[in-house]
Amino acid sequence: MEVMLPTLIAQLRAAVGYLGERDQHGWWQSMFLSAGSTPFLTPVCGRTLVLARCVGTTQAAALRHDERIGVGRVFHLFRLPEDLEQTIHHTLHDPTIAPHIAALITRPDAALSYLQGEAQRTEGGGVGPTRVGAVHAVHERTSWRMVAAHYAHAFCAQVQVYPYFTEQV
């Protein structure tokens, strides 16, 4: 069964966010998706633990992506147009999503396997800031499969990539 686009993006954020954290590849210094964050966040966030962990990692990853790509009329996995951000936020409130995200962030190989499974292709991707397409493409599943391919390649090749969308063609 094919998942809805906001669910796909939320799961991509979780997988990439987890792999990019300090304990994995160290692209950003957060540890919200590490096992150690659960005891720390549970008393404060209880019922919204998955949401809190994902939001924390999204913020850390967005800062790093913004540093490398720039801000303005560009969007990336961790900073999207407001309508899509709202939909993803509501998706993370769905209790049926939590087990899927939890399964992605248990082990690095699980997260990488998910990215490779979603990837449109398996050959090499870009390095550094890499344009994926125009901003309207953020609503297309094939664009997110390209994004998954770029990240999967980068984590395997031990390089950093920052796929993005722009309003310019």
Tokens 């964050």: give the residue. 37
* 144 φψ region: left (φ > 0), alpha (ψ -120 to 50), beta (else): alpha
> How far from the centroid of its chain's Cα atoms is residue 32's Cα?
13
**pLDDT tens per residue, range 107-159:** 999 999 999 999 977 555 778 999 999 999 999 999 999 999 999 999 999 99
Three-class SS state of 123: coil
Spell out the domain ranges in the chain: 5-166
Asked if residues 90 and 83 have their Cβ atoms less than 8 Å apart, the reply is no
Q: Which segments of 7-157 are extended strands (E)?
A: 74-76, 128-134
pLDDT of 7-64, one tens digit each?
999 999 999 999 999 889 999 987 766 666 555 555 455 565 667 777 788 999 999 9
pLDDT digits (tens, 9 = 90+) for 59-114: 999 999 999 999 888 999 999 999 999 999 888 888 888 888 889 988 999 999 99
Q: Which two tokens stand for residue 38?
A: 């659960």
